[in-house]
Amino acid sequence: MKLTPYLMQQSMRWFGPQDPVSLWDIRQAGCTGVVTALHQIANGQIWSKEKILKRKKTIEKAGLVWNVVESVPVHEDIKTQKGQYKYYINNYKETLKNLADSGITTITYNFMPVVDWTRTNLSYTLPDRSRALYFEKAAFIAFDVFILGRKDAKKHYTKDELASAKKRFSEMTEKERKLLKKNILAGLPGSEESFSLDQFHLALDKYKNIDADAFRNHLFHFLKEIIPVADEHGLTMAIHPDDPPFSLFNLPRIVSTADDVTKILAAVPSPSNGLCFCTGSFGVLIENNLAKMVKQFGDRIHFVHLRSTSRNNSGDFFEADHLNGDVDMYAVILELLQIMQRRKISIPMRPDHGHQMLDDLKKKINPGYSAIGRLRGLAEIRGMEMGIFKSLLTIN
Ligand code: DNO
């Protein structure tokens, strides 16, 4: 049997004209696609067609295609179903229509409460002296209990966890404490929010009476509103998993496991209600069998983030090389290739994050989004994909 070559659409995230990595850098890395968002527009406001088309033109001038929006952020009022949530859902629909009219049809978003992706250390030195992103549980708890001083925080951790956090905190210098606070509150690249300590307390308070079931219902309500619009306008929506895939600050997390995904996809069974399959996020939980999940949700995967993490027994993880760590990238890509041949489509992917390495160690970078580390990840993944694809041809 001869397989038609449906391979992943190689893309890279671009934060817009301010990004130190240029569109030409992305093109030279071998990409055809660009994943971007209009970060300059405040969360909740409508993206006008004019602004969308302006960004699209900029990308096309470099010979690239804007293939995925990451993200159209979901306003906190929608997540908490408070305040002006109806107004924000309406705005969201208008943005979706404007994107569809501009020919951009894959939209990523997340439904994480208050904070988007979270790390405690943005330049964790690896043995080869490159730098990685790191989530250290003791440092995180130290922030929650001793810097933020969240009411009841102590109740949400075990005695051992609190003891480690206390020790960790007492050993930090003032400078390290400030940096930890900044890493968690200032928002990592792509997070649309940043907070002072007071604002953060207020944001957390809004979830006082929202448990996981209630929060899931808020997501389902949102999906029931927007998926019909996506269907009508030929869009596919791709929800991004929780990163990390467990509760932070005792907030509900509802996109962490295969079971969570099953519920979300069943809530609105349209194919346009789909998934951004992020191996780095799901991969932190040992019970998430990634290849199995790709197979299970294959028809609803509209976008893929490929990266790997390495975890230890204390709940810490760092971002490993793309083909190392706990993610079985071979198994994931093998499944993806079979799904793409069956669906007769090329699913957009981006190498997610990358180490700060080589020349980039001397440059100012967006944490996780330096050029060379991602280029390395992409090159390795591209080679692996091609190798697996060719061997499938031989076997079949
Ligand atoms: C981090 C990213 C996330 C992601 C959003 C999707 O590197 O994967 O910020 O873009 O959660 O809405």
Q: pLDDT tens for residues 190-222? A: 998 899 999 999 999 999 999 999 999 999 999
Query: What angle (nearest 5°) sits at the alpha carbon of residue 216, between those of residues 289 and 233?
Result: 90
Q: What is the pLDDT of residue 3?
A: 65
**85 classed as catalytic:** no
Q: Which of 260, 352, 355, 360 is catalytic?
A: 352
Residue 352 designated active-site: yes
**Ligand 1 atom nearest to CA at 191:** 9
3-state helix vs strand vs coil in the chain, percent to 5: 45, 15, 40
- Please state, as a whole number, how many other Cβ atoms lie within 10 Å of the Cβ of residue 57: 10
Q: How far is CA 82 from CA 112, 115, 386, in A?
A: 16, 17, 48
List 19, 353, 355, 360, catalytic entry: 353
Quote the CA–CA distance of 317 and 370 in Å, as a whole number.
Answer: 20
What is the model's pLDDT at position 50?
98
Q: Which atom of ligand 1 is nearest to the CA of 368?
A: 7
Q: Evaluate whether 72 touches 49 at the Cβ level (below 8 Å).
A: no
Q: What was the pLDDT predicted at 393?
A: 86
Q: What is the pTM of this model?
A: 0.97
Residue 278 is a catalytic residue = yes
CA-proximal residue: ligand 1, atom 9 (nearest)? 190
pLDDT of residue 377: 98
Residue type, 34: V
Taking the C-alpha atoms of residue 227 and residue 92, their distance in angstroms, rounded to an integer, is 11
- Which atom of ligand 1 lies nearest, measured to the CA of 276? 6
Q: Which strand (E) or helix (H) includes residue 225?
A: helix 212-233
- CB 340, CB 6: distance < 8 Å: yes
The reported pLDDT for the residue numbered 126 is 98
pLDDT tens digit string along 28-68? 999 999 999 999 999 999 999 999 999 999 999 999 999 99
Residue ranges in the chain whose pLDDT is less than 70: 1-3, 395-396
CA distance 111 to 147: 26
